Structures are given as structure tokens and as C-alpha cells.
Homo-oligomer: A and B are copies of this chain.
Amino acid sequence: MGMSVRDVATRAGVSVGTVSNVLNRPDKVSPSTVAKVRAAIEELGFVRNDAARQLRAGRSLSIGLIVLDVSNPFFTDVARGAEDRAAEDGLTVLLGNSDENEDREAAYVDLFEKQRVHGVLISPVGDASSRLDALHRRGIPTVLVDRPTTDDRFSSVAVDDVAGGYLAAQHLLETGRRTLAFVGGPQELRQVADRLAGAQKAVAEIADASLEYIATDGLTVLQGRKVGESIRERDATDLPDGLFAANDLVAMGLLQALSMLGALSVPEDIAIVGYDDIDFATAAVVPLTSIRQPSSLIGSTAVDLLMKEADASADFTREHVVFQPELIVRESSAPKA
């Protein structure tokens, strides 16, 4: 316990510098010395102290990732993509969950600054401008994840959510629905606002189509279920025939509430389209039509951009990558009979 490089040096009968060399560039040390030192390390159970290492190096071998919701499979997929890519460069990903809460987000930004991480990948809550400003002022390379921007201070990786919203609504319209409703919130979430905007655009192109906005307080299964229950109790004349949920969790909640008691059937009475195409979407009560995003690709691309920025020259210009979403049709939006 508490073995240091100095103890190893003493035991092996060499200097501390040599031990460090064995650790970091064994080719510069004679084979016999390497063997002696390795043996000493083994015998003493020496483990490098990362804190001291980082202190000397000036920064850590990790990158921070702040997501809006760890329990959303979309984000765990993004995280996995980032981890795998980071591991290639010998970096570790520190995963922080903001839970769509600005204070928690700020706490993680603080933590990562104190840890002197290589850089930060962040899916910001709201506009998060004060946190982002701070990051930029400190000169910490930052990549915005799932949030398009034209801000030259940050690279970004995102998916075109307006296009996604358009795809979803267009699909509902093409399968004969006219009274649509968008379910999700809060609108401060950029993802929500964009997907809604895309849907509105599609609806505006069809003369007799309408789009209602039903707000939720967050994008969870539970929130979806609550909305579903209230829809179930509506007067038949007041019923939408197509629902577009801001994400799959909400969509699954809706599905669950509507089909409960067999009150309304999906897709006959109401069609549902979700967003993210999480693994569970295909296993839902009624397999869910959804908008797919290349989630793990988003994560790995984010790390790519970060690494580019890390070893960049002065004239470096940041990239803004935007992926296109894809419509995945399943039963929950089968055409009206």
C-alpha cells in the first residue's frame, strides 16, 4: 500500500527517473534493467498514481460527456459510440447525467474543468450559454452533441430534427391521417421544438390537415402515459387520428395508455410515430414506427471532432456535422383500412 515510484527505484536499485522510463519508454532502458524494475513493481504491487501523473501532464486522459437522460437508450448508445472511439486513443469517457437540469449540468461542467479533462462532449440543456461560454473561455475543446449550431467556437454533431419531424408528420398524412397531434415538451428542449417545427411544416402543405400541440413535462414513458390517459377520455369528436411523439419513450407511454382497457386501438383509431428508434420500439405493444438516428455514430463522430480540435493548428476551423434521420415504418402507423 502507498508504494511509489521511489520505493520501486530503491527496491530495484535504480533511480526514479529510470523507473519512470521503464513505465513510459522501455525501449530507452536496457533489457536487464527493465526486467529488474518490472520485478520490483510486481513484488511491491506498485500502481501508478494518476493524480500525480495528471498534475505533471497538465491534463487528464479522460473526456467528459454530459447527456440529457441516461435512462434513454438513445443516449446510452451515443455514450457507447463515444467510449469505443475514445478507447482507441487511450482515453476514458466520464459520463455525466444532467437529467435536463441546468444545475446538474453546471455541476458536471465544473467537475470536468477541475479534472482538466481533454475536452467535453455536451448535449446541452436549453441554450446552456453560460456553461458553454465558461467552457470556451477556459479553452476547453467542446463538442455540441445532438444540437446543431453555427457557432464557430464549437464543433457539433447533430441530426436534422426538423427533417425528422417533417418525415414523421408526412408519413402520418400519407397514410390518411388529417387530425394530428404532437406530444412532447418542454419546448425549451431544442429537440422538441425542431421536431414540432418539422411536423408543422408538413401539415401546412396539406389543406385540410391540422396539428395540435400537447405539452408534456419531460420526455419519459410516464409523461406519455399521462397524455395517453387524457386522450382516452376525450369525446370521440375531439380525437386526433395521428400522434407524433417527441421520442420513443413518450410514444411507448401513449401506446400503453391508449391500448389499455382496449379503449382505442392502434393503428386503427389512432396511429403513433415515435422518435429515436430505440431497441425497445420494435418490442412495443404495437411495434412502433419511429425516426431513426445513427446514435452510436453520433458519439464516435463527436470524439473524432474533439480529437481534431485537440491537435489543431491556429487556423483550424470547426466542423458542424449534421446527419439525416430515417423513417422506420412499423405497425403503429399502418394505413387506415
Interface residues in chain A, defined as those with a beta carbon under 8 Å from any beta carbon in chain B: 1, 45, 47-52, 54-55, 60, 70-71, 73, 76-77, 79-80, 83, 92, 94-95, 97, 110-111, 113-116, 137-139, 221, 252-253, 255-256, 279-280, 282-287
Contact = CB atoms under 8 A, between A and B. Distances in A.
B285 A114 contact: no
In order of increasing CB-CB distance, the 8 nearest A-B pairs are A51-B54, A252-B283, A51-B55, A50-B114, A256-B283, A280-B280, A51-B51, A47-B113
A221 B280 contact: yes
A51 to B, nearest CB: 4
How many copies altogether? 2
Contacts of A77: 71
A105 to B, nearest CB: 14
A79 B73 contact: no
Contacts of A139: 1
A111 B51 CA distance: 12
A71 B60 contact: no
24 contacts: A1-B138, A1-B139, A45-B138, A47-B110, A47-B113, A47-B114, A47-B138, A50-B115, A70-B76, A70-B79, A71-B73, A71-B80, A71-B279, A76-B76, A80-B97, A92-B111, A221-B283, A252-B280, A252-B283, A280-B283, A283-B284, A283-B285, A284-B285, A285-B287
